[in-house]
Amino acid sequence: MFIRRQLLLVAGALAVAATVPHARAQEETVKIGLIVPMTGGQASTGRQIDNAIKLYMQQKGDTVAGKKIEIILRDDAAVPDNTKRMAQELIVNEKVNVIAGFGVTPAALAAAPLATQAKVPEIVMAAGTSIITERSPYIVRTSFTLAQSSTIIGDWAVKNGIKKVATLTSDYAPGNDALASFKEHFVAGGGEIVEEVKVPLANPDFAPFLQRMKDSKPDAMFVFVPAGQGGNFMKQYAERGLDKSGIKVIGPGDVMDDDLLNNMGDAALGAVTAHLYSAAHPSQINKEFVAAYKKAFNNRPGFMAVGGYDGIHLIYEALKKTGGDATGDKLIAAMKGMKWESPRGPISIDPETRDIVQNIYIRKVEKVDGELYNVEFATFEAVKDPGKTKK
Ligand code: PHB
């Protein structure tokens, strides 16, 4: 009996000893577990987000509301099993206060149950399928949804004399969202889909599909490939002579990512896409952002960089509002309804859905001072995710 009590006391003391230094460390440091693909086909997404966060922290400092911000970077190579294991390890062992990043939809979904269970905010900076924010009350998104831009380009196409479209979309959730939202608007407006192909997500060879597109003689092809694949797609598009056959590329702007656009060559000229961000967005904030990013990383920021920049800003501002309290529920409450001006334009977090509300711009690829840019020519203001209302 006596021995048992002693043992219990020892165990209790150990437990206290184990928690006290940790609790203190957490008071001083806010840890953010950043899970992004730094290798593999989606590596450009991870690189852009990591760069943008580094830039933000250089500009604003690495302390906020009296807390030191520590980023713990993990490369999941966009493989959801890795994401899940890494999120678990970061939450349980590293005791992170926030998990962030998520380069593809399956990765964002894999982490969602862990965010809920641990009450740790999950800030989605890249992935774009509508359902993501519904998978946990702890998810907040600073990227985009495919429905936001694909519905708008669907309407634009019918109004601009495009009657027949062939579609080429990456065969996974965001590709399916893009296709469904485009079709709904384009077909409702009287447009016709003459060919529909889905390409695998991993290492796609577009060539055989491009031949089918060409044969179906559409006015335009609607394309969704995830960030990082646009360069390869446009190379094969030009090699197969689709540009010469006058088949325009339209779609959400992922295929014309600024990160790769300037190396695509003249085949990209005239492509019209709807999207949240262009490096050519003519605001002062964006000019400064592009200049600073180029100076630091010797490349243009793309839309993934902006998702990362806004994601870390959201965390900083939420910490300011909570006075440095990084409790999950408090951070999420602080994030709901937050509004600010991003390099992409004015944005906010919808307090109901925790999803981003942002302008969607229609842009055309043009040469400006010898470089290719998505030049914005129409703006749809404060677009909420249209994918949410269909449930
Ligand atoms: C996604 O997997 O949700 C995703 C990835 C890259 C994009 C768009 C969507 O460009």
Q: Which of 146, 171, 261, 275 to mutate to test the pocket of ligand 1 (most atoms within 8 A of CB)?
A: 146
**227 CB near ligand 1 (under 6 Å):** yes
> Is residue 174 in contact with ligand 1, taking CB distance under 6 Å?
yes
Question: Residues 6 or more apart from 142 whose CB is under 8 A from it?
Answer: 123, 124, 125, 307, 310, 311, 314, 347, 349, 356
Dihedral class, residue 126 (left if φ above 0, else alpha if ψ from -120 to 50, else beta): alpha
Strands of 122-124's sheet, edge to edge? 63-64, 67-75, 29-36, 98-101, 122-124, 139-141
C-alpha 30/C-alpha 247 separation (Å) is: 50
Which ligand 1 atom is nearest residue 104's CA?
2
200 by Cβ neighbours in 10 Å (0-12 / 13-18 / 19+) ranks as exposed
Is 148 near ligand 1, meaning CB less than 6 Å away?
A: no
The phi and psi torsions of 229 (rounded to 5 degrees) equal -100, -10
Q: How far is the CA of 127 from the centre of ligand 1 (A)?
A: 5
Residue ID of nearest Cα to ligand 1 atom 8: 226
Helix/strand/coil percentages in the chain, nearest 5? 45, 25, 30
Q: Look-up: residue for tokens 């335009």? A: 220
Atom nearest to 172 CA in ligand 1:
2
**Which DSSP category does 377 fall into?**
E
Query: Which atom of ligand 1 has the smallest separation from the CA of 227?
Result: 10
pLDDT, tens digit, 9 for 90 and up, residues 279-289: 999 999 999 99
Pair 374, 280: CB distance under 8 Å: yes
Question: How many CB atoms are closer than 10 A to CB 391?
Answer: 7
Picking from 32, 23, 14, 183, the residue whose alpha carbon sits closest to that of residue 102 is: 32
Say yes or no: CB of residue 254 within 6 Å of ligand 1.
yes
Task: Please choose, from the candidates 250, 176, 266, 259, the residue with its C-alpha nearest in 3D space to the C-alpha of residue 213.
Answer: 250
> What's the confidence (pLDDT) of residue 12?
44
**In a mutational test of the pocket of ligand 1, which residue from 49, 79, 105 has the highest number of ligand atoms less than 8 Å from its CB?**
105
Return phi, psi of residue 332, to 5°.
-60, -45
What value does the CA radius of gyration of the chain take, rounded to a whole number of Å? 22
pLDDT at 107 over 90: yes
pLDDT in tens, 45-90: 999 999 999 999 999 999 999 999 999 999 999 999 999 999 999 9
252-283 pLDDT, tens digit each? 999 999 999 999 999 999 999 999 999 999 99
For ligand 1, whether the C-beta of 44 sits within 6 Å is no
Q: What is the number of helices (H) and of strands (E) in the chain?
A: 12, 15
User: Quick check: 149 pLDDT over 80?
Assistant: yes
**Would you say 177 and 390 are in contact if contact means Cβ atoms under 8 Å apart?**
no
**351-379 residue pLDDT tens:** 999 999 999 999 999 999 999 999 999 99
Residue whose C-alpha is closest to residue 176's, from 76, 235, 252, 273: 252
CA torsion, ordered 43, 32, 278, 174, to nearest 10 deg: 60
252 CA → ligand 1 middle, Å: 11
C-alpha 45 – ligand 1 centre gap (Å): 9
* Residues 279-338 pLDDT 10s: 999 999 999 999 999 999 999 999 999 999 999 999 999 999 999 999 999 999 999 999
Question: Is it the case that residue 7 has pLDDT exceeding 60?
Answer: no
Q: How far is the CA of 105 from the centre of ligand 1 (A)?
A: 6
Q: Are strands 272-275 and 356-368 parallel, antiparallel or unpaired?
A: antiparallel
Residue 42's nearest CA partner among 103, 129, 128, 87 is 103
Cβ contacts of residue 277 below 8 Å, gap of 6+?
253, 258, 302, 303, 306, 343, 344
pLDDT digits 0-9 by tens, 153-168: 999 999 999 999 999 9
Residue 16 Cα to ligand 1 middle (Å): 44
Please say whether the beta carbons of 263 and 256 come within 8 A: no
Residue 98 has which token pair?
């926030």
What span, in angstroms and rounded, lies between the C-alpha atoms of 118 and 154? 40
Q: Which residue puts its alpha carbon closest to atom 2 of ligand 1?
A: 104
Q: How many A from CA of 220 to the centre of ligand 1?
A: 22
